Structures are given as structure tokens and as C-alpha cells.
Structure 1
Amino acid sequence: MNKHSLEKWLETTNCVEVQMPNEIFEDLSKAEFKSFNHKCFAYAYYYLTCYIYRNALYGGETDQYSQHNIINVFTSDKSSVSYITKSEGIMDSMNYTKTTTDYPISYYMDNDILEFGLIKELRKKMPDLEMNHSPRFYAKEPIKGMTRFDGEDYTGTFYSFQNTHKIDVRNFIEIISDKKLGHVGLYIYGYISMMCDKFSKYRITNEELAKMVGCSERTIKSYMVKLEKIGVIQSTKITLNNKTQKFYSL
């Protein structure tokens, strides 16, 4: 999808922003992905899963939020990432997503607690309700959005922003719609976003950042230049002990 199509698809003017759990970087690094690119895909895929679920976008034209369309935002080769997104695939086995046919069609506040109106509840009340999607439709519930600590309800990132980082959906669209950035650019940007939440200015060398992110120094240099070019990050260069470091800020 192009930038305009993504803005319309994600209903950016009416939706709530979502937080990402900081531990996602460590958790993804422990998983067995076929490549760094696929690890980045998993991060971007989880962000989009959270955003669509939190805003109950399934309540509109449900089929347009099929797994086919969600994955299509990031890659045209769906078969190559199916081991990540399928039922009991990597994201399910990591306990980040759950494959379900019971998806939210609305959300509301009950005693100041976020609640979701699920399709199966509605169908119990309206058994003659027609489906507005294919019979094989399923969604992904972002488990970390619902439950995060000790299996307790309402501890997920939809309820608590503790130890999280935010990616503005407009920045998501800006990065994803840029063919030179895509989900790799989003993964690197997400890591910088997390660190800038912890420090007003995050100081690090490209070599150190590459080790932290899990890619080559050349990749970091290339993508950081592109991220700065589109204006989602800023940097100030300094030299200390003959090493070039940068202060990054959003």
C-alpha cells in the first residue's frame, strides 16, 4: 500500500496510539528467525496487530483486515514469513499473539477499564447476524496488549505503559511506505524510540548500535541516514577518544 492508502486503511484521524513492550527486542533476539529481515518483519507485524486490535478496526469492513492484507503491507512473498504468522508459528509460540476467530468489533470504558466488544458475544445476541467476511477469516489477538505480567488480567500494554515505547502511527506509515526503509527501518527506529524514552538524548556509536540491534554496522549507517532524511529522528555527532558517537533524539 502507498502512504495515502495506509492512512485511510488505518483510519489515522480517529484511532488511539499503541505502546510496544520494551522486552520485545530481547524476546525477538531469542527466537529462531531465518534472517535479520524476518526478525524486523515480526516486530512490524506485531505493531500492526496491536494497532488494529486496540482500535477494533475489524468492526468495519472486516475482510480488509485479513491476515493476507496485513502481511501484504510488509512483503509480497507471504509464504516466506508464514512460519512467523501462522497458527502456532513463531509469534504464537512466543506468546505474543493468539490465533482467534473471536475478534473485537468495538471498545469501550467500563469503570475506567478498557473493554472490548467481541464478535461472538454479538452473535449470541443476534444469531441471524450476517458475516461481513469470508468463513475462513481469523484475527490475531496481541497477548502482550492484554496480559503482560504474571498472567494477571489488565496488565498488558493496552492498560499500562510501564516499560514500553510508542511509535506514532503516522511515523509508522512514513517509514513503512518508504521502500528504502520498510520493516527493517521500523525495527531500528523502534529501538531508538525505546532508548530515547529512557534518555532525553541517546548516545551510542554505530558499531555499538549494530550489536544491540543485531545487524551489520553498514546496515545501521544506511538506515539511520534514511531515517534522519525523512525527519523521524535527529542526531548530533561528537568525537570522544577517537570514536565517533551520536546523540539521537526523536
Structure 2
Amino acid sequence: MSDLLLTIHNTSPDSRGKEGKSYITKKQGILSKLGYLRKEGDYPISYDYYTDEYGNTDYNFVDWHMYSSQNRLTGVFDKPRAKMINFPVRGIYGDEQSERENEVTGYFYRFENTTEVDINTFIFCMKHSDIGVVGFYLYSFIKSMNSYFGGEYNSPIEQLVVNTGIKSTKLSEAITTLEAHNMITNSHSTFVPFLSQDKSIPANGYRTLNRTQFTDSRREVEVRKVMSQAAYERTGGRYLYEDSSIEENDDDELNDLPF
């Protein structure tokens, strides 16, 4: 699924040329090229849940009633206006083998690792030009990681660049923007450049906030502290925010980063 997100994110909807993609869902669009959608002339028109002989309903199993299986002579179902529909291939089947064997292993049936993003969050991002598509994508990515790790998502900027496909400068800008609109929190862990491999410091921790907590106006965002190796050694490995005397006495060895 991450490959799909990266492909969509890094493809301009206005791209042209031999490898250009003008649409996401339409014919020859991104999802079609990746095999996630396929044009078909049949589709479900109703459904039932499986019920055993004792009247117990199992909502994990859905019995779909397809248009092609109905008696069209009865006139109960009108002829569809659209002759072809987008069949969500990977929503039903996880891969080509499961489709050949008719095993429903797609995303619709493996929802335990999916993340729900409210439509109002999307609208909020589109309404604010400084957030936009990149901000919505990054917010959704962080939220999915929060769910996956069961809380805060810790990651250095370099790894976030690899995982999201967003360039470093743009990524730092997007993180600041999301925090400014109160969409995420950022731990702003102190950073020590060129620290030896036998020592480590925690990476920034990110958490997403709910739509009701977002703010239309930008608020001031905290900056990340950078500590020199010399100051780090004098604290015995403790961080700047744990000892205010270090901040007061070593101003010449401290800098701020906007992420």
C-alpha cells in the first residue's frame, strides 16, 4: 500500500508525455496502471449477511447479489446508465493468485491495519493553501504510523524522507505547517550532530490531533534545539531541557532548527 501512496503523491495530475498520468481513477490512470482498478460491466446491486440455522448473523461474510445474476425480464432492476464501472481489484483480492483462486484477501477484508481519515480533515487541508495535498498526505501517513505503533511515531527526518518520498526541505516545511495549524504534535527532541555511533538520542516523536483541535490561523511553533557534542558530554548524556543551567551557560554552543 505504501508503494501506491508514493506513486500517487509523486505523480502530478497534470503530467503529460510518454509516462504521464492525467487521472487517478479513470481509464489508463494511476490506479489502473498499478492494477488496483479494472473496468467491468457487472457490479453488485444488493447484499445479504450470512445467517446460520439458529438465526445468528455473521457480519464478516457478505453475500453480494450481482446485476448479471438477476432476471432482467422481471423489470425490477433498471438497466444501468453506466455500461462500465471501476472494479476495485485489490480491495477484493490481495494479489493475482488470490484472484485466480477466488480468495477474498483484499483491503476490504483486511481492515485491521487500515487508518480512517475523516473527510472533514481532507476538506480542511484543501481549504488552506499552505497545507494542501502534501500536508494531507503527511498527516495521513503520520496517523497511520501512530495506529501501527500504538501511539507516538518516532522518526528522524532522514528516515521520514525515505518513507514518505517528500524531499527534506519540503518535508520540514510541511511538518512545521501541520504543527502550526495544531494538526500534529512534535516532541522537538534535542539534536546532537556527528554523535558517535555508540551513543544515541531519541528521534522526534509525532502524534496527530483530531479535526476539532485544528486551528485556521497559524500559531507559533517551537523550534528544535541543537546541542554541541561538548555540551552533550558535560551533561553526561542528559538533554538540554532537563537542565536549564546548560541552556544558560552554553548559548554559544546551541542553535535552533525549525523541525
Q: Which moved more, 1:197-206 or 1:123-132?
A: 123-132
Cα deviation for residue 202 of structure 1 reads 0.9
- Residue 30 (structure 2) aligns with: 90
What amino acid does structure 1 have at the position aligned with 2:35? N
CA shift digits 1:52-75 (9 cap, x unpaired): xxxxxxxxxxxxxxxxxxxxxxx6
Q: Does residue 1:140 correspond to 2:86, yes or no?
A: yes
CA shift digits 1:119-171 (9 cap, x unpaired): 444573654744574x56x4322222212155153322222224433323332
Q: Which structure is richer in relative contact order (CA contacts within 8 A, separation 6 or more)?
A: 1
Cα deviation for residue 241 of structure 1 reads 2.6
CA shift digits 1:202-222 (9 cap, x unpaired): 112333312221121121122
Cα deviation for residue 201 of structure 1 reads 0.9
What amino acid does structure 1 have at the position aligned with 2:3? E
Contact 2:21 2:30 in 1 (8 A): no
SS in 2 for 1:93: helix
Provide the C-alpha distance between the structure 2 equivalents of 1:235 and 1:130, rounded to a whole number of angstroms.
54
Shift in alpha-carbon separation, 1:89–1:159, aligned structure 2, 3 A:
same
Q: How does 1:110-125 map to 2 (within 5 A)?
A: 110=50, 111-112=58-59, 113-121=61-69, 124=72
TM-score, normalised with respect to structure 1: 0.58
What amino acid does structure 1 have at the position aligned with 2:205? F
Contact 2:187 2:204 in 1 (8 A): yes
Shift in alpha-carbon separation, 1:147–1:195, aligned structure 2, 3 A:
same
Q: How does 1:156-175 map to 2 (within 5 A)?
A: 156-175=106-125
Match of 1:190 among 119, 126, 140: 140
Provide the C-alpha distance between the structure 1 equivalents of 2:45 and 2:182, rounded to a whole number of angstroms.
35
SS in 2 for 1:238: coil
Q: How does 1:191-230 map to 2 (within 5 A)?
A: 191-199=141-149, 200-230=151-181
Cα deviation for residue 103 of structure 1 reads 3.8
Unaligned runs of 5+ in 1: 1-23, 39-74
Shift in alpha-carbon separation, 1:193–1:123, aligned structure 2, 3 A:
farther
Structure in which a larger fraction of residues adopt helix: 1
SS in 1 for 2:106: coil
Aligned-residue sequence identity (percent) comes to 24
Provide the C-alpha distance between the structure 2 equivalents of 1:173 and 1:116, rounded to a whole number of angstroms.
32
Unaligned runs of 5+ in 2: 51-57, 194-200, 209-259
Shift in alpha-carbon separation, 1:101–1:204, aligned structure 2, 3 A:
same
Provide the C-alpha distance between the structure 1 equivalents of 2:176 and 2:74, rounded to a whole number of angstroms.
54
Shift in alpha-carbon separation, 1:27–1:81, aligned structure 2, 3 A:
closer
- Residue 234 (structure 1) aligns with: 185
Q: Does residue 1:36 correspond to 2:10, yes or no?
A: yes
Contact 1:114 1:159 in 2 (8 A): no
Cα deviation for residue 107 of structure 1 reads 4.8
- Residue 13 (structure 1) aligns with: none
Provide the C-alpha distance between the structure 2 equivalents of 1:161 and 1:210, rounded to a whole number of angstroms.
26
CA shift digits 1:90-129 (9 cap, x unpaired): 3223221122343444554334213444444457365474
Provide the C-alpha distance between the structure 2 equivalents of 1:88 and 1:123, rounded to a whole number of angstroms.
33
Provide the C-alpha distance between the structure 1 equivalents of 2:104 and 2:94, rounded to a whole number of angstroms.
8
TM-score, normalised with respect to structure 2: 0.56
